[in-house]
Structure 1
Amino acid sequence: MTFKPASWPRKLRSQSWYGGNSRDTIYHRGWMKNQGYPHDLFDGRPIIGILNTWSELTPCNGSHMKELAEKVKAGIWEAGGFPVEVPVFSASENTFRPTAMMFRNLAALSIEETIRGQPIDGAVLLVGCDKTTPSLMMAAASCDIPSIVVTGGPMLNGQFKGERVGSGTHLWKFSEAVKAGEMTQEEFLEAEQGMSRSTGTCNTMGTASTMASMAEALGMALSGNAAIPAVDSRRRVIAQQSGRRIVQMVKDDLKPSDIMTKEAFENAVRTNGAIGGSTNAVVHLLAMAGRVEVDFTLDDWDRCGRDVATIVNLMPSGKYLMEEFFYAGGLPVVLKRLGEGGQLNKDCITVSGETIWDEVKDVENYNEDVILPLELALTQQGGIAVLRGNLAPKGAVLKPSAASPHLLKHTGRAVVFEDIDDYKAKIEDPDLDIDETCVMVMKNCGPKGYPGMAEVGNMGLPPKVLKKGITDMVRISDARMSGTAYGTVVLHTSPEAAAGGPLAVVRNGDIIEMDVANRVLRVDISDAEMAARLAAWKPLNDAPTSGYAFLHNAHVEGADTGADLDFLKGCRGNAVGKDSH
């Protein structure tokens, strides 16, 4: 792709507020001056909004985000821009109930209006926790002003008894060990102290690190941004460099629509397979593509990811953490490997103004036990598998690199949980009729059902099975799974149960067949029986508990298209509305 920079100087959108000497201009400009800004800052230089998701209730986006904002400001000043820091909606996976995913779209909606309704010419998207990255990128895509992503970076490695501890991954592992009687509660509490020992996002290849990698693979962040630890001084350096770069992007009019092309999304899908990335990337990239009006579907996920080997040896698929990934060379090494193997669209433009191949072609791998040679890949088909059949006519997803190979083709008896509360009430009952050959099925945890599609798809196994030494079973739901989790888990089953999808009518004892290689997921009943069950199905009568919950349930689409609100899809642009003053 060839990008032609716009001519400079030219009139910027911020001048609709600040240019000239009319009463309205003086109204806008004069109030800004109460902060001590000199008059010449409003003379047509690019005004850059630093959209900061810092919050003390979003631990991944903690105090270091304020420090990064100062570095971004320094870079903007150096390049002749005018930085303004703007706090924006920050959805934390750690604290938000019922689930942060329910508020991704609310964040994107509010941030879109923040961008469109205020006098900024470009945006630095300062993100961290996994929903903040897609929400800000969705908003930027809808407005299409020059934008660059700066992530907060991952935590340092966790440690417990000389062992690397991955955030999230070991939480699930240790929790199961306690239930199996292999670890005491006291040891679990001791391990907690070493899980999160620095500021930053998850140190595994969870959703936060996956989405940081997706931003870089899409070309929306400077090369190398994804893996630098939060506390490493180089994280501050790239923040300052990004501040410099966004000013030139505004001058060139280099926008998300120039960068986030169909070919760039294909690069991101292949990258996700190579890094063993989170299944959450599926719904987030589908939603982003919808905002930038790129034709990108679940079928593209399967087409692009099917033959990609997982070469990044990180938890939850492998054994290392983000610290080692950075030291090994980070995502640029992965992108170079994809390019050498013919799996990278090399001409895609990035925020640097260069092609993605120019950015990575000369990088070096410093640790081939972290970023593996192709012949030693964790799995030769690491992309997200999209399964279809009478149980998931619009698709369901599975992460092969996190699954048990012997379960990738499996037939078993369904043990059904009507929702998460039903699961919690039954799972520890010693009389539950279940063994390791069964298929655990959970309903009503999708975008409408939970509501918000919570990360509960990696259902913990029943203690009676764990005590046999069994660590994995096939699990199916319309929920999501944390990017830090693992197991043979089928997710995002569409249409979801709460919308009357076939999952809603699965019964205890039904025989379910899964064949990942052939992309099949079906329940062994006739078409006539399925039709009769669906005709008899009645929706739940759960009333929304808040104004936004009402809006969400009325307008949220299925996971198969990104679970965005239907009226938010598309690029609405950044035109300035009428000035009422």
Structure 2
Amino acid sequence: MKKPVKLRSQEWFGGKDKMGFVHRSWLRNQGYPNDYFEGKPVIGICNTWSELTPCNGHFREVAEIVKRGVLEAGGVPFEFPVMSLGETIMKPTSMLFRNLASMDVEESIRANPLDGIVLLTGCDKTTPSLIMGACSVDLPTLVVPGGPMLNGKFRGGEIGSGSFNWQIKAKQDTGEFSDADLQEAEIGAARSAGHCNTMGTASTMATMAEVLGLTLAGASSIPAVDARKKVMAQLSGRRIVEMVREDMKLSQILTREAFENAIKVNAAVGGSTNFIIHLQAIAGRIGVQLELDDFDKLGSQIPLLLNLMPSGKYLMEDYYYAGGLGVVIKELGDLLHQNILTINGKTFAENYAKAVCYNHEVIRTRANPLNPAAGIAVLKGNLCENGAVIKPSAATPALMKHRGPAVVFSSMEDYHARIDLPDLNIDKNSVIVLQGVGPKGYPGMPEVGNVDLPKKLVLQGVTDMVRISDGRMSGTAYGTVVLHVSPESSVGGTLALVQDGDEIELDVERRLLHLHVSDEELAKRRAAWKEPDPLAERGYVKLYIDHVEQAHLGADMDVLVGKSGSVVERDLH
């Protein structure tokens, strides 16, 4: 017979001394009965609800449903808040605060009498930040994704929240949209609770959580307002209590094989490039070795099976009705590690063996993919010694091999000031280079890599150009955009040395990003380069700038990598 698991919470509640009295007595002002403190698994429900995070605005109700499941399984639920990262609201960029939120999660879990954790995630950074923080403590943990919005509706057609945003400036420049048109689209684009309804970063992160084995099977693609989402939340509450009794920790689930599966499935669904930076950070926290090159080696030849914006036509609601993620996993078959463990105690093969596709236009087969090889491509060259990335499924095929003169913007402010000037020396063959938007330089590595094209070229009918930066791109976006250039310009990477007119060569097939400037000239420029002044003198932002790692390492902070924790658990009383 298996020995009962020693509950961590009993270190707080099990004592018959003064501190046991203290820990129990104050909680009793909430009206809890005796049996809440007598050896039941205590479950922390980590909630990122906030009225400033619209994607997570329904999480109060979700938390109550999870509690119901916890109570049914004989556990004790305690809901607690952590910093919520609203992608659409926060300035300068929510990415600046991902690591801070992960610290909040880690220390909130570590400091409290919790045996198991349920993470309520939705908006882009809430998923990786919560998983990162939980990894650093390594308790039994599962994820409840908030779910995507219903399809956007506009004048008899459908629009994707996020992907439609990147069309707005061009439609304004050409006069296609009036203010009234925009307002009508604005109202119809986000018409229910939930996160973006495209395969943007939020849906990519939910997919990642399920593929890593951290959700109940099928949880990631259910729309937020579908009643089946509530069922999944209640069942998750039941399951976390069982996980505590089984002592099933994150480190048992998050193996190297699980990360490899995640890379391959991300390619098959056309997931966000942000996936790279977040998956690496999670791997770093749990202690799995994951290199930038792994994303190319493992994922670049995987067929794109999902016909979903921004790489395809449909939206998340259609994806769920077509069968959801289980169909993709089943279709990939032997390309994945099918025997890995997931949080429900079953393997991939067991979880998805009965998945059925109801619409092969939305979810393609391996024999008839949307794109035969569409995963992330990792570029190398003198312009990105440590690597850069591009998403071929979102790019223009004709620009995947291109050479043109650089038009350089030293910052986002410089870009906004000059991009629409009539006398700007730029044409469709130019390469837009944006500096100063990397992890340290902005700071926070904003989603600006897919900058809008100059108005004068839009009016000429130009729809895409090669754009290169040390920043990121929204998962809802598209275009021939080279991202995550490392080292970034603000630490003296070669990107900082590019000047107007320099010839830049992009050759995705050869995985090449090359600046056609001699080594001697680059040495002269580097000698003359001056490091930018510090962007912060105090507080979290200074801590972030001093400790954030480069993009090719996941942009976590060096003091957070690993699982050791900041303080050993001890009672000082």
Normalised by the shorter chain, which TM-score bucket? over 0.9
The answer (yes or no) to whether the contact 1:124–1:246 under 8 Å persists in 2 is yes
Q: Which residue of 1 aligns with 2:304?
A: 310
**Residue pairs, 1:13-412, within 5 angstroms:** 13-62=8-57, 64-339=58-333, 342-412=334-404
Distance in 1 (alpha carbons) for counterparts of 2:458 and 2:395: 17
For each residue in 1:90-140, what CA deviation from the matched residue of structure 2 results, as whole angstroms up to 9, or x when unmatched? 111111111000000000011100011100000000011010000000011
Distance in 1 (alpha carbons) for counterparts of 2:245 and 2:427: 63
Distance in 1 (alpha carbons) for counterparts of 2:195 and 2:289: 31
**SS in structure 2 of the partner of residue 567 of structure 1:** coil
Could you tell me how far 1:526 is from its partner in structure 2? 1.6
Taking only aligned residues, the RMSD between alpha carbons, in angstroms, comes to 1.3
In structure 1, give the amino acid aligned to 2:445: M
Q: Is 176-185 or 20-29 further displaced after alignment?
A: 176-185
In structure 1, give the amino acid aligned to 2:399: L
Change (3 A) 1:95 1:545: farther
Distance in 2 (alpha carbons) for counterparts of 1:252 and 1:573: 23
Could you tell me how far 1:35 is from its partner in structure 2? 0.7
Could you tell me how far 1:376 is from its partner in structure 2? 3.3
**Residue pairs, 1:529-548, within 5 angstroms:** 529-544=521-536, 547-548=539-540
Gap regions ≥5 residues in structure 2: none
Q: Are 1:485 and 2:477 counterparts?
A: yes
Could you tell me how far 1:162 is from its partner in structure 2? 1.3
**SS in structure 2 of the partner of residue 169 of structure 1:** coil
Could you tell me how far 1:574 is from its partner in structure 2? 10
For each residue in 1:320-374, what CA deviation from the matched residue of structure 2 results, as whole angstroms up to 9, or x when unmatched? 00000000111111111111xx210111110011111211122101110100123
The answer (yes or no) to whether the contact 2:5–2:246 under 8 Å persists in 1 is no
Aligned with 1:440 (options 407, 417, 432):
432
Q: Are 1:10 and 2:2 counterparts?
A: no
The answer (yes or no) to whether the contact 1:260–1:292 under 8 Å persists in 2 is yes
In structure 2, give the amino acid aligned to 1:523: L
Q: Is 244-253 or 175-184 further displaced after alignment?
A: 175-184
For each residue in 1:412-442, what CA deviation from the matched residue of structure 2 results, as whole angstroms up to 9, or x when unmatched? 1100000100000011111111011110000
In structure 2, give the amino acid aligned to 1:55: S
Distance in 2 (alpha carbons) for counterparts of 1:79 and 1:574: 32
The answer (yes or no) to whether the contact 2:406–2:433 under 8 Å persists in 1 is yes
The answer (yes or no) to whether the contact 1:159–1:194 under 8 Å persists in 2 is yes
**SS in structure 1 of the partner of residue 335 of structure 2:** coil
TM-score by length of 1: 0.97
Aligned with 1:523 (options 515, 528, 549):
515
**SS in structure 1 of the partner of residue 149 of structure 2:** coil
Could you tell me how far 1:545 is from its partner in structure 2? 6.4
Distance in 2 (alpha carbons) for counterparts of 1:40 and 1:472: 63
In structure 1, give the amino acid aligned to 2:15: G
**SS in structure 2 of the partner of residue 149 of structure 1:** strand
The answer (yes or no) to whether the contact 1:144–1:574 under 8 Å persists in 2 is no
Moved over 4 A (4+): 573-576
For each residue in 1:170-224, what CA deviation from the matched residue of structure 2 results, as whole angstroms up to 9, or x when unmatched? 1111322111333223312221111110111000000000000000011011111
TM-score by length of 2: 0.98
Distance in 1 (alpha carbons) for counterparts of 2:19 and 2:477: 54
Aligned with 1:422 (options 407, 414, 418):
414
Could you tell me how far 1:527 is from its partner in structure 2? 1.9
Distance in 2 (alpha carbons) for counterparts of 1:375 and 1:411: 34
Q: Which residue of 1 aligns with 2:448?
A: 456
The count of aligned residue pairs is 573
**SS in structure 2 of the partner of residue 263 of structure 1:** helix
In structure 1, give the amino acid aligned to 2:393: S
Gap regions ≥5 residues in structure 1: 1-5
Give the share of equivalent positions with the same residue, in percent.
55
Could you tell me how far 1:573 is from its partner in structure 2? 5.8
**SS in structure 2 of the partner of residue 389 of structure 1:** coil
Q: Which residue of 2 aligns with 1:3?
A: none
Could you tell me how far 1:288 is from its partner in structure 2? 0.2
The answer (yes or no) to whether the contact 1:144–1:573 under 8 Å persists in 2 is no
Distance in 1 (alpha carbons) for counterparts of 2:44 and 2:386: 39
Distance in 2 (alpha carbons) for counterparts of 1:574 and 1:124: 22
Could you tell me how far 1:528 is from its partner in structure 2? 2.1
The answer (yes or no) to whether the contact 1:310–1:377 under 8 Å persists in 2 is yes
